[in-house]
């Protein structure tokens, strides 16, 4: 791997930037690996990286149906925060946040993590009570989160309209200062490059079509559009397509897949200092370093794999944005897209072993998986390498739905479900 530093940049600048190598090999699949990961998004690539770097498993492959970073990793609104209500979630998401803080250095790749603050707006008495409860629960768990009055919220984010005349006036806000954004593509590319340097094969345009099992029921490998691959351990990190892949092993999972939409505006000069989210009027907004407003909209109501959704969904979000930030009323939107998110009944992920020996699954991130990428990958790598969950992901089992041990974060995820 060619290390990035000011010296390496200067040296190659004088050489006309002719000597840069591709950041990862375009590997062809081998006949057998020690482990195979299905899904080349951030969570899957990160899992491969931690398997190689922390658990010494270097004869492994990541199989990606399309191209690296072309799925939900490149479709989300890049928001990072960890102010979840329950102990289990706080531990998981804050584990991720701590990894975010050092990730650029760990990977020698600038993931542009920017802790600019994530502010969640309260618009009614219920919001105020719920967010204050979150603030206290978070502080008890060592997770930073603080309550702001409406005036303090506007001081933190000057474009915010706190007029009492709004249909849903801003009554206050919860602010996590360590929250913020990162460059989503760079996360996928950084993990891919670092994993490749440790010997991991990243195989693109390779769709898994079947999961092979031996006479004892254990996993023996996968069938793909680029041939059969033997592997005693298979990790499924397939986001919206998890139900489809798990079905290949004869397993049903408590997931439904919905399109979640996002959109970006034309690029403008820096005008928006932080991330603002509102569950109640349903808007997320931040500004990318390129200058575009990055806006998260909602999910369509129905199960779909179409990677697009109804226009009335983002239109509803833009109504809310224009009300909260009147200066954006004449802004033009450039692009709008959808990604397929897999949601669980309790809106918490599943990071676990499955009833099939050798088969592991990391899914159910729903509308908010990007923020957890490093933590999710790290504990899932532990689960695959040790054949046992890390203490942090031990509660996030498949069986919790049967056993009634749900981690009911439906209210903490910001998208209306």
CB of 38 to other proteins, least distance (A): 15
Q: How far is the CB of 208 from other proteins (least distance, A)?
A: 13
Q: 71 or 190: whose CB is closer to other proteins?
A: 71
Nearer to other proteins, 96 or 238 (CB): 238
Least Cα distance to 140 among 96, 79, 101, 94 occurs for: 94
User: Judged by CB, which is closer to other proteins: 161, or 304?
Assistant: 304
d(CA 411, CA 80): 17
Judge contact between 254 and 409, C-beta under 8 A.
no
Residue 191, sorted as left (phi over 0), alpha (psi -120 to 50) or beta, turns out to be alpha
What minimum distance in Å lies between the beta carbon of 309 and other proteins? 9
Between 58 and 308, name the residue whose CB sits nearer to other proteins: 308
Closer residue to other proteins in complex, CB, 190/314: 314
Measured in degrees and rounded to the nearest 5, phi and psi for residue 118 equal -115, 120
Q: In a 3-state reduction of DSSP, which class is residue 189?
A: helix
- Residue numbers of the site for other proteins (CB under 8 A)? 241, 243-244, 252-257, 301-306, 310-312, 345, 401-403
Strand 79-80 versus strand 180-181 pairing type: antiparallel
Question: From the CB of 377, what's the least distance to other proteins, in Å?
Answer: 24
CB of 309 closer than 8 Å to CB of 259: yes
C-beta closer to other proteins: residue 115 or 339: 339
Run of H or E residues at 109 = none
Which DSSP symbol is given to 220? E
Q: Residue 192 Cβ, how far from other proteins at the closest point, in Å?
A: 26
Decide if 115 contacts 180 (C-beta within 8 A): yes
Q: How far is the CB of 382 from other proteins (least distance, A)?
A: 26
């Amino acid at each position: 791997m060619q290390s990035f530093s000011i010296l390496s940049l200067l040296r190659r600048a004088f050489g006309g930037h002719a000597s840069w190598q591709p950041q990862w090999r375009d590997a062809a699949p081998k006949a057998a690996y020690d482990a195979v990961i299905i899904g080349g998004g951030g969570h899957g690539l990160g899992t491969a990286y931690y398997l190689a770097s922390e658990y010494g498993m270097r004869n492994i492959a990541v199989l990606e149906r399309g191209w690296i970073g072309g799925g939900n990793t490149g479709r989300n609104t890049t928001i990072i925060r960890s102010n979840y209500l329950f102990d289990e979630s706080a531990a998981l998401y804050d584990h991720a946040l701590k990894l975010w803080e050092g990730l650029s250095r760990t990977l020698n790749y600038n993931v542009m993590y920017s802790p600019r603050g994530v502010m969640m707006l309260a618009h009614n008495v219920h919001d105020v009570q719920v967010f204050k409860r979150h603030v206290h629960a978070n502080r008890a768990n060592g997770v930073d989160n603080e309550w702001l009055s409406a005036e303090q919220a506007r001081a933190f984010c000057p474009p915010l309209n706190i007029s009492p005349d709004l249909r849903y006036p801003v009554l206050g806000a919860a602010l996590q200062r360590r929250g913020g954004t990162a460059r989503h593509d760079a996360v996928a590319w950084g993990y891919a490059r670092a994993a490749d340097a440790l010997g991991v094969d990243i195989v693109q345009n390779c769709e898994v079509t079947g999961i092979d099992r031996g006479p004892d029921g254990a996993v023996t490998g996968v069938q793909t559009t680029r041939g059969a691959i033997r592997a005693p351990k298979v990790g499924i990190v397939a986001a919206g397509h998890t139900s489809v892949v798990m079905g290949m092993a004869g397993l049903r999972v408590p997931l439904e897949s919905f399109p979640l939409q996002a959109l970006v505006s034309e690029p403008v000069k820096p005008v928006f200092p932080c991330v603002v989210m509102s569950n109640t009027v349903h808007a997320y907004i931040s500004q990318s370093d390129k200058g575009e407003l990055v806006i998260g909209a909602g999910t369509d109501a129905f199960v779909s794999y179409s990677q697009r959704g109804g226009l009335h969904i983002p239109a509803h979000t833009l109504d809310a944005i224009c009300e909260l930030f009147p200066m954006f009323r004449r802004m033009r939107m450039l692009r709008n897209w959808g990604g397929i998110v897999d949601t669980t009944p309790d809106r918490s992920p599943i990071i676990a072993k499955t009833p099939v020996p050798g088969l592991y699954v990391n899914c159910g991130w729903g509308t908010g998986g990007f923020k957890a990428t490093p933590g999710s990958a790290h504990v899932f790598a532990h689960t695959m390498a040790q054949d046992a969950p890390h203490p942090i992901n031990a509660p996030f089992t498949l069986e919790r739905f049967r056993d009634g041990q749900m981690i009911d974060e439906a209210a903490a995820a910001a998208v209306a479900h």
